[in-house]
């Protein structure tokens, strides 16, 4: 039986970072991957999604170009196969980069799903390995309710590989994936309906922003059905039929289910070890990503803390520093910036108005709403909304929220200021770059 200092289960962003850093500290490391190197982010998440987002945005860019004098032919068309081919090539390139990072850092890799045979013993394919330490970084998997036509309902794993664009699509849910794909599909010319059981999209985000995003999505032609519960989805003549509790059923060519993701623990055989898990299967860990079993650790979506790639990477790095580099540290989960890549994108760092209320923190709110200069000549002018939440007592900026073009790039930079504890006065003392949208953040009154 081959023995390793560390066996990493899952070669997603977090697992690869942990494996590489541990190996750099001199550990003998094995990493197991059952599917594709790079995990969800590279293969079925952030990367292909962002490429699709760019593709979708061209649709309105053509109109804007016309307003600046460009002659755009009346008949423009979009070729889905070209996008898929180019996307697949890029992902293959990234898969190879991930593999070569592991090779360069002398991490052994094995293609196959890992499962526990004992607390130190892992089976991968027909081989058995012993790990002095084991890191579970197996990520998450899409939830899919047991509809009658379950096999015909797509998840975000499938949507990146469909052979042709449907003429219409119904998207279930109103979280990150649902709203992002509603904007992508609508931008690519697919008649799009979002079906949600609740009353507002992206309910954990600042409501001023989500209200405006909802308006912008509707203005772009997306149909949003709130307070709508689904009884079942069945096959119909040409596509699928969604049976709704509150009214007539909906016939559609295609359904994308985006009803959350769950920790990916199904194949790990965790029954063999007495590891503590939450109700949804998430592996319970302490701030150093250690489970209740001394030599077993877990990072990333499988722990269901903050399910974002950069967080998993930081957890993996901190784990390797602590366990193999004698630098005890944990990854901070405070003030994590994030973007929902809708059209326009919604980006945020720090607390929302609702959270400030819950925490009993009195905040002053500064906000502004306008149309970006780029749309000066255009008929359709998308809006920008910016919001700063400032602690009344200390003047510290506690929350920065923006809906609008370039918000991911702007909020990423402003997250540095918030992390460094900048006050409103620091923002006021910063000179604007004119004319930009982001200058509004330093001129808010
Ligand atoms: P989310 O948890 O964001 O949203 C799930 C949605 O499905 C919610 O609207 C939820 O409704 C609804 N829902 C859940 N269960 C049911 C049910 N049984 N019946 C009806 N509706 C239901 O999950 P996503 O799948 O969109 O994304 C998963 C995670 O992936 C995100 O939380 C995020 O961490 C990550 N992600 C990040 C991205 C980014 O950074 N840009 C992009 C994509 C994903 P309700 O609110 O009522 O519970």
**Given this model, what pLDDT does residue 17 score?**
98
The residues annotated as belonging to the active site are 434
* 261 CA → ligand 1 middle, Å: 7
What is the CA 116 to chain-centroid distance, rounded? Answer: 29
* Domains and their CATH numbers in the chain: 2-141+262-324 (3.50.50.60), 150-259 (3.50.50.60), 344-442 (3.30.390.30)
Whether 160 lines ligand 1, by a CB cut-off of 6 Å, is no
Whether 320 lines ligand 1, by a CB cut-off of 6 Å, is no
Task: Enter the pTM of the model.
Answer: 0.97
* 257 CA → ligand 1 middle, Å: 10
**Given this model, what pLDDT does residue 353 score?**
93
Which of 40, 143, 176 maximizes ligand 1 atoms within 8 Å of its Cβ, making it the mutation to test the pocket? Answer: 176
**Which residues, listed in sequence order, are joined to residue 391 by a DSSP beta bridge?**
363
Which run of H or of E encompasses 91? Answer: helix 80-104
Q: Are 33 and 59 in contact (CB under 8 A)?
A: no
Length of the chain equals 445
Strands laid side by side in the 384-391 sheet: 338-340, 346-350, 397-403, 384-391, 363-370
Taking the C-alpha atoms of residue 326 and residue 4, their distance in angstroms, rounded to an integer, is 18
Query: Tokens 């499988």 sit at which residue?
Result: 302
Peptide bond into 374 cis (omega under 30): no
Q: Are 341 and 416 in contact (CB under 8 A)?
A: no
What is the CA 344 to chain-centroid distance, rounded? Answer: 16
**Given this model, what pLDDT does residue 237 score?**
86
Which run of H or of E encompasses 81? Answer: helix 80-104
**Given this model, what pLDDT does residue 273 score?**
96
CA distances from 392 to 128, 245, 267, 365 (A): 59, 46, 50, 9
DSSP state of 279: T
Taking the C-alpha atoms of residue 42 and residue 96, their distance in angstroms, rounded to an integer, is 11
Tens digit of each residue's pLDDT (9 = 90 or more) over 139-157: 999 998 999 999 999 999 9
Whether 197 lines ligand 1, by a CB cut-off of 6 Å, is yes
**Given this model, what pLDDT does residue 342 score?**
98
Taking the C-alpha atoms of residue 314 and residue 300, their distance in angstroms, rounded to an integer, is 9
SS3 at position 282 = coil
Q: Which residues of the chain have pLDDT under 70?
A: none
Angle at 35 between CA 32 and CA 37, to 5 degrees: 70
**Given this model, what pLDDT does residue 262 score?**
98
> Considering only CA atoms, which residue is closest to atom 13 of ligand 1?
259
Taking the C-alpha atoms of residue 324 and residue 193, their distance in angstroms, rounded to an integer, is 50
Which run of H or of E encompasses 90? Answer: helix 80-104
Using the atom order of ligand 1, give the atom closest to the CA of residue 341.
41
């Amino acid at each position: 039986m081959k023995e390793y200092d560390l066996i990493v289960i899952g070669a997603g962003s977090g697992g690869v970072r942990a494996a590489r850093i541990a190996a750099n500290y001199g550990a003998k490391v094995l990493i197991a991957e059952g599917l594709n190197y790079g995990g969800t982010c590279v293969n079925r998440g952030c990367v292909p999604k962002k490429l699709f987002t760019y593709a979708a945005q061209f649709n309105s860019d053509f109109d804007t170009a016309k307003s600046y004098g460009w002659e755009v032919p009346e008949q423009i068309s979009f070729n889905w196969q070209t996008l898929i081919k180019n996307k697949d090539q890029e992902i293959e390139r990234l898969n190879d980069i991930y593999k070569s990072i592991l090779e360069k850092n002398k991490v052994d890799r094995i293609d196959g799903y890992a499962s526990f045979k004992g607390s130190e013993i892992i089976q991968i394919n027909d081989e058995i390995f012993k790990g002095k330490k084991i890191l579970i970084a197996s990520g998450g998997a899409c939830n899919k309710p047991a509809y009658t036509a379950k096999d015909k309902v797509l998840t975000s794993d499938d949507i990146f590989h469909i052979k042709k664009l449907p003429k219409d699509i119904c998207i279930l849910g109103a979280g990150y994936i649902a709203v992002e794909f509603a904007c992508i599909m609508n931008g690519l010319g697919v008649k799009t309906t979002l079906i949600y059981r609740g009353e507002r999209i992206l309910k954990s985000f600042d409501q001023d922003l989500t209200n405006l995003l909802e308006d912008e999505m509707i203005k772009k032609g997306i149909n949003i059905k709130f307070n709508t519960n689904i009884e079942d989805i069945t096959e119909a003549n040409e596509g699928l039929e969604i049976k709704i509790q509150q009214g007539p059923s909906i016939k559609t060519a295609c359904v994308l289910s985006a009803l959350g993701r769950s920790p990916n623990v199904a194949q790990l055989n965790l029954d063999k070890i007495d590891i503590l898990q939450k109700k949804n299967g998430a592996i319970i860990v302490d701030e150093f990503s250690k489970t209740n079993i001394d030599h077993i650790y877990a990072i990333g979506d499988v722990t269901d803390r903050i399910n974002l790639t950069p967080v998993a990477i930081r957890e993996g790095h901190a784990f390797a520093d602590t366990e193999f580099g004698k630098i005890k540290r944990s990854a901070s989960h405070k003030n994590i910036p994030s973007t929902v890549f809708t059209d326009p994108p919604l980006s945020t760092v720090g607390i929302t108005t609702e959270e400030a209320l819950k925490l009993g923190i009195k905040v002053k709110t500064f906000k502004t709403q306008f149309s970006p200069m780029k749309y000066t000549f255009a008929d359709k002018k998308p809006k920008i909304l910016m919001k700063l939440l400032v602690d009344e007592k200390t003047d510290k900026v506690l929350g920065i929220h923006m809906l609008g073009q370039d918000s991911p790039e702007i909020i990423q930079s402003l997250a540095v200021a918030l992390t460094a504890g900048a006050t409103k006065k620091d923002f006021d003392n910063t000179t604007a770059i004119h004319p930009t949208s982001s200058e509004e953040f330093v001129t808010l009154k």
